[in-house]
Amino acid sequence: MRLLIFSGTTEGRELSRRLAGSGAEITVSVATEYGREEQGNIPGVRVLCGRKTEPEIIRLLQETDVCIDATHPYAVEISRNIREACHSTGTVWRRLLRPRSAYPADSVFLQSAQEAARWLADREGNVLLTTGAKELGCYRDLNPERLYPRVLPLEQSLVSCREAGIPGRNIIAMQGPFSEALNEALLDQFQIRYLVTKDGGRAGGFQEKAEAARSRGVTLLLIARPEEEGSSMEELLDEVTALLAQEQKTAE
């Protein structure tokens, strides 16, 4: 069985590791060199690197029996492209879901980075942005002196910060995971009043951020996760195992 996993996430890496040696031909597709580095070398797992358009995904699916979308829960565009490509080619499609977090009752729930920027425009105080570098442009109308983005220590992240007008002294270029204590230290150091986050679940350190915000009296702004259907890690492992057993039985 030929299995294609679109990954770049903790759970995608775990899935590929747990399926390695199962008898399936596994290909993992990641968007960036950072994703390739995090994926590592797993015997029997082929890794492709680079962002894929829908036509490119369709070409990959021509050599695929089962496609699993294990991309980030907020990666709406690539997830849509994967799903539509599978539909057009008749490829079996599955979505690996990251479990949702327990949200603090006093969180401010917002639908997008744009909405978060509008909400912050009416309030004073420093902001810790922990939603990555891609959406920094949404905060361009705010005073950049009050913005403290925490981004991956990659050149493209720094370029995004500069394009958004963020002062160099405000850029926090670090790779997680981040403990509650480290989050608290950052909130203290930069006198943060608002922490903007997405529900990255356990893998994204959501709980540590939420607890740090609570302990420091910082308002937590939570950008809503898109609604979607899918399967848990264990459900997918069971299904793939059953498909492999069926394939082996047919071959006999």
Domain boundaries, the chain: 2-99+227-251, 108-223
Kindly indicate the confidence band of residue 252, based on its pLDDT and cuts at 50, 70 and 90.
Answer: low
pLDDT in tens, 9-53: 999 999 999 999 888 999 999 999 989 999 999 998 999 999 999
Question: Rounded to whole angstroms, what are the CA distances from 147 to 153, 174, 191, 200?
Answer: 17, 16, 11, 21
Question: Class of 108-223 per CATH?
Answer: alpha beta
Structure tokens at 108: 């401010």
pLDDT in tens, 156-173: 999 999 999 999 999 999
Question: Class of 2-99+227-251 per CATH?
Answer: alpha beta
What DSSP character marks residue 109?
A: E
Half-sphere exposure of 57 (CA within 13 A, CB side): 28
Q: Respond yes or no on whether the N-terminal peptide bond of residue 226 is cis (omega within 30° of 0).
A: no
pLDDT in tens, 191-248: 999 999 999 888 889 999 999 999 999 999 999 998 889 999 999 999 999 988 888 7
Residue 130: which of 190, 217, 209, 31 has the closest Cα?
Answer: 209
Kindly indicate the confidence band of residue 68, based on its pLDDT and cuts at 50, 70 and 90.
Answer: very high
**Are 226 and 97 contacting, i.e. CB atoms less than 8 angstroms apart?**
no
pLDDT in tens, 69-114: 999 999 999 999 999 999 999 999 999 999 889 899 999 999 999 9
Q: Tell me if domain 2-99+227-251 and domain 108-223 are identical in fold.
A: yes
The alpha carbon torsion through 167, 170, 175, 179 (nearest 10 deg) reads -170
